[in-house]
Structure 1
């Protein structure tokens, strides 16, 4: 039976990247910081020496992130900030709060939503919400922080997906958003002109609440057992029998932010276990 739960991140499992910009006077803004990948990016960024503004609409989840930060002894480096990414006022407030912490150098647009439904009956409200959170908000935040990013040799990391390379049915809003976020990533690289760098991260299925919460519903829809959904639907085309962990994805973000990735500009860091590039 595949284990869906993810053990807490331990200090010894966190990769440290050698970068002289990873200091407490540099700020990394992370959206979706209340759980999953956003939480992992917040903890790994703080453990690598950065100050972090972790933002999410889920106040309870942010409190849990801070509990993990306290356990890892980096709570002093993370500032939780409750915000709604569909609100322009809140997006402006995120930028203001980030500047108060120091030199805003990194932006990790991680927050994501999912809604599964056939296109013909896909709710317009759900479609609009997904686009607002996963496409519009990353654009607005990048725009709000552009001057800071230019001044501080900054970098924007965007959470994409294998669904920004190819699509599956019943996820039209998610598919469109992930193709769009890759377009935003490349636009940032084009207009950053070497002063603002960007990259996206495309993974297969990751052990996050966004993914695992879908499994029972998918099993019921397709008349499958939970294990069959994981092995055949989620991992069927991948050359692995294990989903990624949020920590593994967080390491890709910190690599992308670091000097090790200085030539990754507009690039997509594809880590999908061969899902989109191989076939039987």
Structure 2
């Protein structure tokens, strides 16, 4: 009985082992079949040689230089041959012209089909080869010349300065003041300080007795001195000093000298300046730290 039982047990164990091996083989065959049906994936690894090939085969970045154009600038009947990039703007052109024509950029007006704005390029404005560009603007020396006193006036000023005579009593200023208050002068207030108005100060006179107005372009850091003949745009940082004194008998108005150059001889004299704006004019142009 024992031998028979052992034989039966061995047969049963062999059957189970064979069944297990068959199952494993079957699963392996199924997995192999599935893998064979999957699409092969490309090798995504890139070695150093391939990397260099990619870099060397890439398209180079195009570096293009702005096309230049030859044209003529006309200023005060003088002609200047200019070669300048079309993609540069009017502001850059003004910088280029400053040394050639002797007019500061702030005093230049470039005329290309009307007044050209600084941010417009020459290409946008349609400048072509052989075009003529008009530039309007006074040299700073010309502006100073308007305010430069004659030899006699200088002598009178030296004499008056030696005796510390008030402006309103000096001979060179009396020539203007004796003409009386201009009809269109702005109202003046003494012992008062007002902010600059949003409009020009007008109704005043210059040393020639002509009408003059002052416009304060704070956003441009400029003061515009306007007369019947022209308007000069003066950078505020080029003004060295400002002097003023009340007019005797009319203390609500001042005589004011705006120094445009390096010496007192370059003062631009303005008469009948409303007293309430004198301090604000100095503050705006010179800054309170210089007063």
Structure with the larger helix share: 1
TM-score > 0.5 by shorter chain: no
Q: Using structure 2 for the length normalisation, give the TM-score.
A: 0.20
Structure with the larger strand share: 2
Q: Using structure 1 for the length normalisation, give the TM-score.
A: 0.20
Larger radius of gyration: 2
